[in-house]
Structure 1
Amino acid sequence: MSTFAIGDRDFLLDGRPHRVISGALHYFRVHPGDWADRIRKARLMGLNTIETYVAWNAHEPVEGQWSESDGLDLGRFLDLVAAEGMHAIVRPGPYICAEWHNGGLPTWLTATPGIRLRRTDAAYQAALETYLRRVYGIVAPRQIDRGGNVILVQIENEYGAYGSDKDYLAELVRVTRDAGITVPLTTVDQPEDDMLAAGSLPGLHLTGSFGSRAQERLATLRAHQPTGPLMCSEFWDGWFDWWGGQHHTTDAATAARELDDLLAAGASVNIYMFHGGTNFGTTNGANDKGRYLPITTSYDYDAPLDEAGDPTEKFHAFREVIAKYAPVPSETPAAGSPRPEFTVDLAAAPGAPATPSPVDGLLTFEDLGHAGTLLRYDTDLPDGFAGGVLEVGEVRDQAWVSVDGIRVGTLSRTRHEHALRLPAGGRLSLLVEEQGRVNYDDRLGEAKGLIGPVAVDGVERAQWRTTPVLLAEAAAAPELMVSAGTFDLESPSDLFLDTTGWGKGYVLVGDFLLGRYWSNGPQRTLYVPAPVTRAGRNTITVIELEQPLPVTARFVRAAELGPLHE
């Protein structure tokens, strides 16, 4: 058995000073078939530790239905980290931010009437205790003092930027210790006086989150914590992208200098991200600081390993810096190679007649307990309606408006649109897409769908029918256009699907939902992990919301994530 503790100036591994050189790798953003590869490459860059969040809503999307299967096997992930001879840091939240859907909180939880999130509240705390005990049932036996590799566990996440409820933090600590967590506990906040003061408790080790000006930030951290090791537990080496923006990158040499400054100061580090991965499916979050901006499917983050797991210029620059302060393996990972290029003919996918199950009322996703991304709203227009103006309180997040089955326009939350002129007709339909749940600040858990009132020519429409639209039944849904094709591979392979010229929608390879595409950019390719494919025949399905159905799918050699913003 080993020990890991906090000393006067250093972390202590078996009583000896130890520097943590860690990198963030979220198991839920990487196909489990690629976990071992990404972990090994982390060691080859010189890291001795892997850090991961735990996404509550991935494990328990429906209350009481907990899953650790397939890509959610946290125990297996930690065991693979241990097999590579590396330590692990676990950050279970329950709130994680991470540009992840709803900040990691399940929608069934945040939809609870009257619930108060991230503070002392009976309903919230009862649910999070159940959650944390499940996570700690996985983590506790894998702690370093029990023969495992987990050395640190974090309490909450950047809490000082949100609240200052010390009783709430104390309850998290109580549950954590009561569940058998004995390793040191940490908190993380941006190194600003008010955040550091609000976001922690005595007995919890303060760490910082920043990507530059290390000396200044570490000095602020030290002023709040006179003893113990200094640590930047989120060293931001890149940034995330949102639909309609540019692809964010940071200069590799500049980022390496910032890392050098941090390590030269004697601090420990967790690089956020070492490998960003992908918001597969519909797991992307969103930000709203006056303008709603949903996060892209790619979470490449301009990290040392790119979205496909290939080493970048930043990988080698960071490796050279780390080698000045710690042993680095002589082996380096092979450079990435071009992926296969080919085209696939697509044809409209036939579907059985739709069998919708509408519910009376203007209902939200939460009202229906609908975990999908699409709802259709229908109402009858007044007899003899000759045209007029549709007004909606708020659309969350985008609506395609049809009259008598013909599309007449869209309403976008991002563009702050609330009104649209309607032609004559008898039946009004709005297909609403939830584009990603806000993962930060006070919009956590907000309702999705049409937020009333909804009026036509100033008169509120009272009679509505709301119908969940399921991607799994897309070919049978009249709102969606579906095309499909097949392709053959000699062996499983990473692929990059070029969505240039397509509108907005979703893509599956086999039964694996890659994620969303959108002509709004910046992202132009979708990453297909090799374990999703197979030798022989493969299938691709495109679900399109806006444009005519694509007739060809084109796979290209490399990712195209859009014009750069440095």
Structure 2
Amino acid sequence: MKTHFFNMLLATFTIATSILSLQAKEPKKEPKAVLLPAATDTQPTFGIGKRTFLMNGKPFLIKAAELHYTRIPQPYWEHRIQMCKALGMNTICIYVFWNIHEQEEGKFDFTGQNDVAAFCRLAQQHGMYVIVRPGPYVCAEWEMGGLPWWLLKKRDMALRTLHPYFMERVGKFMAEVGKQLAPLQLSRGGNIIMVQVENEYGAYATDKEYIAAIRDLVRKSGFTDVPLFQCDWSSNFDKNGLDDLLWTINFGTGANIERQFSKLKSIRPDTPLMCSEFWSGWFDHWGREHETRSAENMVNGIREMLNNNISFSLYMTHGGTTFGHWGGANNPAYSAMCSSYDYDAPISEAGWTTPKYHLLRNLLKNHLQEGEKLPEIPAPLPLIEIPEIKFTEAAPLFQNLPFPHIASQIAPMENFNQGWGNILYRTTLTSNIAQGTFLKITEIHDWAQVFADGKLLGRLDRRRGEFTLKLPKLKAGTCLDILVEAMGRVNFGKSIHDRKGITEKVELFKDNQTTELQNWQVYNFPVTHEFAQNKLYRQINTITTPSYYKTTFYLETTGDTFLDLSSWGKGMVWVNGHALGRFWEIGPQQTLFMPGCWLKKGENEIIVLDLKGPSKTSIRGIKKPILNLMRENKPATHRKKGEDLNLEKEKTIMTGIFKPGNGWQEIKFTQAVKGRYFCIEALSAQDGKGKASIAEWDVLGKDGSPISREDWKIRYADSENIHRGNNTADKIFDLQESTYWTTEAKTKYPHHIVIDLGEENIITGFRYLPRMEKNYPGMIKEYNIYIKEKDYNY
């Protein structure tokens, strides 16, 4: 007994000494840590046992809450951690975002809002373990998946490969992460119990040498005392699986959990099972309905995992806000993320409890560790309303131009050493332009406005593939301006090589004659508060051009609120120097979360950049967010009015029957076919009902491998469910296995989708992935396939 007591004291002294040592290196004093359970030896231990994790030699179930320090104001970190603890979680799971720590090459920042080590120590003070996911790629619906934009300054850059420069920079980043976090491993007195290697790489490529190199860099950075793991989907986890790493699986609410783990259990029957991302909801895109997922389905999935000794990390437990310019995008088809990262998570964007929270808490209170007590739920933070704030001054962009770059030819934003924001390309027409001439831009990334002598000619939107504009008659000497807003860089798939601005060239096209425009002046408009503040503001009269708006407002008390931007067009907001995020009138998000910790009693400054122009130059603060108000004018479906696909005279390439069940099915043709337009005709359903559904679809090329989906478009879909979900037909090639196309309720077979592959291909077959839920809802049974070089008749 004395020996045990001595060991406990020694463990306590060692951990406390380590913490004090770490505190000495910090500019501000940290509160004393709440010690995590000590082992019977000198230090706590965490490891991998037979079909279970082991904490201090005893079976341990990880119940992790994913939340991101970058998406929570630093003063609120502790509140959100306490919310996770009160939910019944025992671990916090975090990404480390390379691009927020190294915004300029070679300049690392791990202070203040970026102090990830302080975040981990806060978790330890509340008795929570930490799982660290340092990437270098993290996805997370975050700008470029966490990779720094300046990597794209190299034209030959191949991200997430053994490209020498990429790996050199990854090594330097990992070394910095190691300096911050390696001392916080459990065996060294901290609370980090596992570290991830890369992230969902099987959905990107197959390259075990690359994964092994990243593993080695993680170890070299100092993470030698904890298990290393890699996460992927059930369909691809074995592509890059290394023998010395733990394998975990990612999937979402409603998934067939037994099916998700069946292959892993057959390959590694003695491994502990873990869902490293159990998706509680989903993320929102500009121009698409607000995403929600069933609370009951989420809790039922967690219950099933708990009952089968399966550890999990709930992604997200609290999503928070993607402040500033850090939101990412998906491609294909290009679609940028909203500023709110509410995610329909158990803890709302503003840190409130939800029905999901209470339902899950009622489950987890019955699955506590021995001796553990569920804490009380922290009180919500104060809320305030802010009366209407009226703007009196504005600074038009075209009257506040910075010093230009001179370029003979067009180049992307990165070539002008700009990472984010807006960029203006200006040239003078050297000859008269006839009416009906087309301006062709290759390509706009991502949203552009075209002006002639200051007059708006039109807007072009990458989301809709709009890269050409019909011009009016213009005289020689006309000043042609193309103002491009860089929205989120793509965060998933090969499209992460997403250079911004105008990526290649600008041409005039008429009567089969093409002329490339040259001799450009290029102006940078970055996203910093200092740049927005340092403008020549004047009294507002009538402003019809893109402008900054600035004013001050006064508060007697502070608290959280939501800034109502519903009368504004498109742009960004800064309050007291803090970038709150993007807004866009199309929705679904119409408010921006304003953390009370960033407000001041007395005078506060607010700046709004509006690229389109407001209908009313005022803002108010309200107590509830508006996350589900759509104002998109164009229809979201892919069936034009009056269209009805006619296949009577078309040749059937293949007729078949899919086997019932979850998972990919691959079909090979007996003979290769040449074509561009791939038509799926679904004739019946496995359940005999009227709905059809596809989660993912691949077309196999000449070598039998899936061809690139980069340029795919949906030409036609007979039915798409847009009233009860974002289930449009482009979901079949969005690279996300948990999203899907499904038809509207009360529809009948046959159902049709026509994919425009972007160019002619030699096609040897296809692959079909049904939905991942049990009973695979809407799964197709009988089908026909048609392939043509030219489009079909409608």
TM-score, normalisation: structure 1: 0.96
Q: How does 1:135-154 map to 2 (within 5 A)?
A: 135-154=177-196
Mapped partners of 1:492, 1:200: distance in 2 = 50
SS at match of 1:473: helix
Query: What are the superposed Cα offsets for residues 132-171 of structure 1, whole Å, 9 maximum, x if unpaired?
Result: 1110111110000001000000000011111221111111
Compare 375-384 and 349-358 and name the one that shifted more. 349-358
Query: What are the superposed Cα offsets for residues 106-133 of structure 1, whole Å, 9 maximum, x if unpaired?
Result: 1112332323221222222111111111
- In the alignment, which residue of structure 2 is the partner of 1:382? 430
Mapped partners of 2:382, 2:426: distance in 1 = 50
Taking a change above 3 Å as real, the CA distance of residues 285 and 389 of structure 1, as seen in their structure-2 partners, is: same
Q: Which has the higher contact order (CA 8 A, sep 6+)?
A: 1
Does the CA contact (< 8 Å) of 2:365 and 2:374 recur in 1?
A: no
Does the CA contact (< 8 Å) of 2:145 and 2:492 recur in 1?
A: yes
Compare 212-221 and 325-334 and name the one that shifted more. 325-334
In the alignment, which of 243, 253, 260 is matched to residue 217 of structure 1? Answer: 260
SS at match of 1:153: strand
Query: What are the superposed Cα offsets for residues 47-94 of structure 1, whole Å, 9 maximum, x if unpaired?
Result: 110000011000001100111122100110111011111100000000
- Give how far 1:389 is off: 2.2
Does the CA contact (< 8 Å) of 2:150 and 2:419 recur in 1?
A: no
Does the CA contact (< 8 Å) of 2:568 and 2:617 recur in 1?
A: no
Taking a change above 3 Å as real, the CA distance of residues 230 and 469 of structure 1, as seen in their structure-2 partners, is: same
SS at match of 1:277: coil
Does the CA contact (< 8 Å) of 2:412 and 2:504 recur in 1?
A: no
- In the alignment, which residue of structure 2 is the partner of 1:2? 44
Task: Say if 2:546 is the partner of 1:546.
Answer: no
CA RMSD between the two structures: 1.9
SS at match of 2:248: strand
In the alignment, which of 421, 428, 440 is matched to residue 470 of structure 2? Answer: 421
Taking a change above 3 Å as real, the CA distance of residues 146 and 441 of structure 1, as seen in their structure-2 partners, is: same
- In the alignment, which residue of structure 2 is the partner of 1:274? 317
Taking a change above 3 Å as real, the CA distance of residues 343 and 198 of structure 1, as seen in their structure-2 partners, is: same
Q: How does 1:521-540 map to 2 (within 5 A)?
A: 521-540=587-606
Taking a change above 3 Å as real, the CA distance of residues 70 and 565 of structure 1, as seen in their structure-2 partners, is: farther
Q: How does 1:124-135 map to 2 (within 5 A)?
A: 124-135=166-177
Does the CA contact (< 8 Å) of 2:419 and 2:526 recur in 1?
A: no
- Give how far 1:338 is off: 5.2
In the alignment, which of 57, 60, 72 is matched to residue 30 of structure 1? Answer: 72
Aligned letter for 1:257? N
Does the CA contact (< 8 Å) of 1:215 and 1:262 recur in 2?
A: no
Task: Say if 2:495 is the partner of 1:443.
Answer: yes
SS at match of 2:605: strand
Q: Identity, % of aligned pairs?
A: 36
Mapped partners of 2:375, 2:181: distance in 1 = 32
Mapped partners of 2:600, 2:548: distance in 1 = 23
In the alignment, which of 561, 573, 583 is matched to residue 517 of structure 1? Answer: 583
Q: How does 1:73-222 map to 2 (within 5 A)?
A: 73-181=115-223, 182-192=225-235, 195-211=236-252, 212-222=255-265
Task: Say if 2:441 is the partner of 1:396.
Answer: no
Compare 227-236 and 377-386 and name the one that shifted more. 377-386
SS at match of 1:538: strand
Task: Say if 2:414 is the partner of 1:358.
Answer: no
Query: What are the superposed Cα offsets for residues 448-492 of structure 1, whole Å, 9 maximum, x if unpaired?
Result: 111333112332112222111234434459963122222222333
Mapped partners of 1:511, 1:268: distance in 2 = 41
- Give how far 1:353 is off: 5.0
SS at match of 1:233: strand
Task: Say if 2:509 is the partner of 1:460.
Answer: no
Mapped partners of 2:548, 2:616: distance in 1 = 9
- Give how far 1:349 is off: 3.1
- Give how far 1:533 is off: 0.6
- In the alignment, which residue of structure 1 is the partner of 2:742? none
Mapped partners of 2:587, 2:432: distance in 1 = 41
Mapped partners of 2:485, 2:240: distance in 1 = 35
- In the alignment, which residue of structure 2 is the partner of 1:246? 289
Does the CA contact (< 8 Å) of 1:396 and 1:449 recur in 2?
A: yes
SS at match of 1:198: coil
Compare 25-34 and 119-128 and name the one that shifted more. 119-128
Query: What are the superposed Cα offsets for residues 267-325 of structure 1, whole Å, 9 maximum, x if unpaired?
Result: 11100001101111100000012x21000011110111111011111111111111222
Does the CA contact (< 8 Å) of 1:349 and 1:483 recur in 2?
A: yes
- Give how far 1:350 is off: 5.0
Mapped partners of 2:228, 2:463: distance in 1 = 39
- Give how far 1:402 is off: 0.1
Mapped partners of 1:148, 1:480: distance in 2 = 50
Mapped partners of 1:533, 1:21: distance in 2 = 35
Query: What are the superposed Cα offsets for residues 467-523 of structure 1, whole Å, 9 maximum, x if unpaired?
Result: 112344344599631222222223331110111121101111111110100011110
Compare 523-532 and 103-112 and name the one that shifted more. 103-112
SS at match of 1:349: strand
Does the CA contact (< 8 Å) of 2:230 and 2:245 recur in 1?
A: yes
- Give how far 1:430 is off: 0.4
Does the CA contact (< 8 Å) of 1:158 and 1:199 recur in 2?
A: no
- Give how far 1:329 is off: 1.0
Mapped partners of 2:221, 2:523: distance in 1 = 42
Mapped partners of 1:215, 1:267: distance in 2 = 11
- In the alignment, which residue of structure 2 is the partner of 1:370? 418
Aligned letter for 1:527? F
Taking a change above 3 Å as real, the CA distance of residues 453 and 84 of structure 1, as seen in their structure-2 partners, is: same
Mapped partners of 2:290, 2:442: distance in 1 = 32
- Give how far 1:200 is off: 2.0
Compare 537-546 and 485-494 and name the one that shifted more. 485-494
Does the CA contact (< 8 Å) of 2:402 and 2:524 recur in 1?
A: no
Aligned letter for 1:552? S
- Give how far 1:336 is off: 6.9
- Give how far 1:337 is off: 6.7
Mapped partners of 1:328, 1:225: distance in 2 = 34
- In the alignment, which residue of structure 2 is the partner of 1:473? 531
Does the CA contact (< 8 Å) of 2:381 and 2:560 recur in 1?
A: no
Mapped partners of 1:216, 1:389: distance in 2 = 53
Mapped partners of 1:359, 1:451: distance in 2 = 16
Taking a change above 3 Å as real, the CA distance of residues 555 and 255 of structure 1, as seen in their structure-2 partners, is: same
Does the CA contact (< 8 Å) of 1:311 and 1:333 recur in 2?
A: no
- Give how far 1:419 is off: 1.4
Query: What are the superposed Cα offsets for residues 9-43 of structure 1, whole Å, 9 maximum, x if unpaired?
Result: 21111111111100101111111111011001110
- In the alignment, which residue of structure 2 is the partner of 1:283? 326
Compare 142-151 and 455-464 and name the one that shifted more. 455-464
Compare 163-172 and 399-408 and name the one that shifted more. 163-172
Does the CA contact (< 8 Å) of 2:134 and 2:198 recur in 1?
A: yes
- In the alignment, which residue of structure 1 is the partner of 2:759? none
Gaps of 5+ in 1: none
Taking a change above 3 Å as real, the CA distance of residues 35 and 381 of structure 1, as seen in their structure-2 partners, is: same
Mapped partners of 2:227, 2:163: distance in 1 = 26
Taking a change above 3 Å as real, the CA distance of residues 350 and 191 of structure 1, as seen in their structure-2 partners, is: closer
Task: Say if 2:382 is the partner of 1:333.
Answer: no
TM-score, normalisation: structure 2: 0.69
- Give how far 1:247 is off: 0.6
Structure of higher CA gyration radius = 2
Does the CA contact (< 8 Å) of 2:411 and 2:505 recur in 1?
A: no
Aligned letter for 1:169? I
Compare 140-149 and 387-396 and name the one that shifted more. 387-396
Does the CA contact (< 8 Å) of 2:402 and 2:523 recur in 1?
A: no
- Give how far 1:184 is off: 0.3
